[in-house]
Chains A and B, each alone.
Chain A
Amino acid sequence: MAAAARTLFDKVWQRHEVSAESAHAPAVLYVDLHLIHEVTSPQAFAVLRERGLKVRRPQRTLATMDHSTPTHTAQVFGGAPIAIDSAARQVAQLEKNCAEFGVELLALRHAQRGIVHVIGPELGLSQPGQTIVCGDSHTSTHGALGALAFGIGTTEVGHVLATQCLLQRKPKALALNVAGRLAAGVTAKDLILAIIGEIGVDGGTGHVIEYRGPGVQALDMEQRMTVCNMSIEAGARAGMIAPDETTYAYLAGRARAPRGAAWERALEDWRTLPTDAGARFEREVAFNADAVEPMITYGTNPGMVIPIGAPIPQRPDDEAFARALTYMGLTAGQPIKDQKVNVVFLGSCTNARLSDLRAAAGVLRGRRIARGLKMLVVPGSQEVKRQAETEGLDRVFLEAGAEWRESGCSMCLGMNGDLVGRGEYSVSTSNRNFEGRQGAGARTLLASPLTAAACAVTGRVTDPRELL
C-alpha cells in the first residue's frame, strides 16, 4: 500500500491534470477558480481582444478590485472621484472588461467587495481540493482550505481566461511539521514569521509547502489563512493545510459553498484529501510552536525577523545586511524594542479578517494611540467591516484615535494613496517589508495585529504581552 500513498498536494494536482507532464512538455492543469483584479488583468484582456478569444468559462472567474482602489469612504461611496487618475482608469477598465467578457465583478461599491484573498474564503468560493489561481502572489492564502492555490503572471491570467488551463511543471512537496502549541499573546503571524526566519526567504523555492502537525491543526481557519498567505515570502509556490472539521465548520452555510445533498457529497470527497500515512515528501522540516515568541522584522525582507525582545543580529561581513540596516536606520546589536513608531497599519490579506480586528481591538479597548502616531485600520472586506461594526469594533478603533476605512489592500503596497512617509517607521500587519513597499523610503516592521496594536498604544515597539 505504501507505494500508493499520496500527499494532499499529489491528490489535488492529479485530479486537475488534463494531461500529465512529460520530458517534452509541462502538464496541462485545469483551474477550478480564477480570481482577477484590476492591476494584473488589463493586459490579459487586451490579448483576448487582439486574438479574438472569449473567456472560456466565465462562471469559474470572479473579479474584484482591491489593489489600486481608495479606502476613503468619500472616494468609495461619497461620489468623490478616485484621487489617482491612473487608478480610476484601471478600475474603469476592469468594469469594461468584465461587462464585455461576461465575468462577474464585485465592483467598488458592491457589498461583497474586498481583498481578493479575503473574499474567496469568506464567500465559500474557495474550497478543499480545488485549484485556485490569481494574478497575485498571495493567492497561497486559499491553501488554508486544502486547495492548491498559487499566484500567476498576467500572461497566465490570459491563458486561464482563454482556456481555463495552465501549463505547469509539478513543484516538489515540502512537509513543514509543526509540533507544540502557540503560547498566549503569540499568533499565527508570529508562527509564520518564525518559520520564514528559520527556512529563509528562498527556503521554499520550487516547493509546495504542506503545514502539518498539532501546531497547525490547533489553528482556526483565519489563522491558517495567515500562515498560508506568507508561504510566498519563503519563496514557496503554494502553502496547503489538510481540510478537517475546522475547515468544514468554517465553510458550512457560506453563500457560495455547496448546500444540502451537494454539501454531503462534497464533504465525503473532501475527507479523502488529507495526505495518506506513509506518503513521501521531497523535503521535511520540523518546527516547534511552543517556543515561538511575538516576532518582528528589522530588515528589508521577511526573513530578517527576530523575537521582539531580542537584539538585532550582527553580521559584520555581510554588505547586503549592512545596506538593509542603513535603509531601516537601525543598528546591529541593539534591541528593536522601544524603537519609535510613526505609523501602525492593521490590514492586508495577511491580517485583516474579523479575528485580527478583534485581537487588535482587545488591546486598544479603553486606551488611546500614542500622540503623533497615525493608525490605519482597513478591514479585509466590506463584510468584515460590517461584522466589525456590528460588534462595535469600529468604535474601539475610532475612540482610540485610529482611522477606520473601506476595505482594500491599502498601505500594504503604496499604489492607492495610502502611504507611509519617507524615513517613517511603520509597524504593519502586512506581508512585505521590502524597501519602498509602503511608500518610497518607508521603513516597515512586520508584526501581528496584537503587536501592532500594542505599538500603537505606546508609540514604540512593544511586546503585546505587556498590555494583555
Chain B
Amino acid sequence: MEPFRQLKSRTLVMAAANIDTDQIIPARFLTTTTREGLGRELFRDWRYAPDGTPRGDFVLNRPEAAGCRILVAGRNFGCGSSREHAPWALLDYGIRAVISTEIADIFRSNALKNGLLPVIVEEAISEWLIGHPGTEVTLDVATRTLGLPGGALVRFPLEQFAQHCLLEGVDELGYLIAREAQIAAYERRHA
C-alpha cells in the first residue's frame, strides 16, 4: 500500500444518501479473480446508458470531473454488500478519499485497508461541501484535518492504528503475522 499523508484535490459531489455498493460496482462485474480494471465499471449503470453511451448528466461524465480525487457523498455511503471491489473500483478510477456524514461499516473497513481515506464530517460541513462542488480541499492524515478554502481546518475521526497504517503505507497482515506467539497461545488455551 502507498503511504497516504496529504491529498489536495477538487471534489466530486454525489449528494444522494445510501449510495450502495451495487451502484458503485454492479454484481455482474464481480466474476473476476483480480483487483485490476474495475474503475472502468465504476457506477456503471449511472454512468452509462444501456447502449454504453455516457450519460451527460452524470457527475463523472462532466469535464470538470477530470482529475478529482475526493468524492463528497450523502449519508450512509457504501451500504450493502461487503464487496471490496467497491473501494478497488473507486481507487482504480482515481478516487483516494470519500467524505460523508456517515460511511457504512464494512465499506469503511475495506476502504482503509486499500488506502482509500474515509472522512466523516458534521452535517453542516457536508451540506456546505455538497453545495459547493468542485471546491479544492486538503486532507491531512497526520493532523486528521480537512482544510477548506479560506484556511478553515475541520478535524475528522481516524483511529490511531488506521492513521499509522495510512501514514506508513503498511498493511494489517504484517501486524497480525507478528502476533503469532499470542495467537498460538490462544489456540493452546482453547484447544
Contacts and interface: CB of A to CB of B under 8 A. Distances in A.
Interface of A: 18-19, 23-26, 28, 30, 39-40, 42-43, 46-47, 51, 53, 56, 67-68, 84, 86-87, 89-90, 93, 135-137, 139, 151-156, 158-159, 162-165, 167, 169, 171, 201-202, 205-206, 232, 235, 237, 301, 319-320, 323, 413-415, 422, 432, 434-437, 440-441
Nearest to B101: A202
Contact of B102 (A87, A155, A205): A205
A39 B27 CA distance: 10
A167 B152 CA distance: 34
B109 A235 contact: no
25 contacts: A26-B159, A28-B179, A28-B183, A40-B82, A43-B34, A47-B173, A51-B173, A67-B27, A135-B82, A153-B83, A153-B84, A155-B113, A156-B113, A163-B177, A163-B183, A164-B183, A171-B105, A205-B105, A206-B105, A235-B104, A319-B15, A415-B30, A432-B81, A435-B45, A437-B27
A43 B38 CA distance: 13
Contacts of A441: 45, 50
A18 B76 CA distance: 31
A231 B176 CA distance: 28
Contacts of B31: 39, 68, 84, 86-87, 89-90, 415
Given A235-B104, A320-B17, A162 B177 contact: yes
Question: Which bracket fits the contact residues of B?
Answer: 35 or more
Contacts of B161: 24-26, 167
Given A26-B159, A323-B16, A441-B45, 8 more contacts: A67-B27, A158-B173, A163-B177, A171-B105, A202-B76, A206-B105, A232-B80, A413-B81
Nearest to B86: A153
Nearest to A200: B76
B182 interface: yes
B113 A162 contact: no
A93 B33 CA distance: 8
B53 interface: no
Interface string B147-179: 000000000000111000000000111011101
B128 to A, nearest CB: 18
B173 to A, nearest CB: 6
Contact of B32 (A86, A414, A434): A86
Nearest to A434: B22
Given A202-B104, A440-B45, A137 B80 contact: yes
Main secondary structure of the interface of B (DSSP, over half): loop
B172 A167 contact: yes
Contacts of B105: 171, 205-206, 235, 237
Nearest to B174: A51
Contacts of B18: 201-202, 301, 320
Interface string B79-107: 11111100000000000000000101110
Residue from B20, B33, B35, B106 whose CB has the most chain A CB atoms within 10 Å: B33
A19 B182 contact: yes
A89 B45 contact: no
B114 interface: yes
A323 to B, nearest CB: 7
Contact of B26 (A84, A202, A436): A436
A155 B45 contact: no
Q: Give the 6 A-B residue pairs with the shortest CB-CB distance, closest first.
A: A153-B110, A86-B31, A42-B33, A151-B82, A153-B84, A415-B27
Given A237-B105, A414-B27, A159 B16 contact: no
B10 interface: no
B82 A136 contact: yes
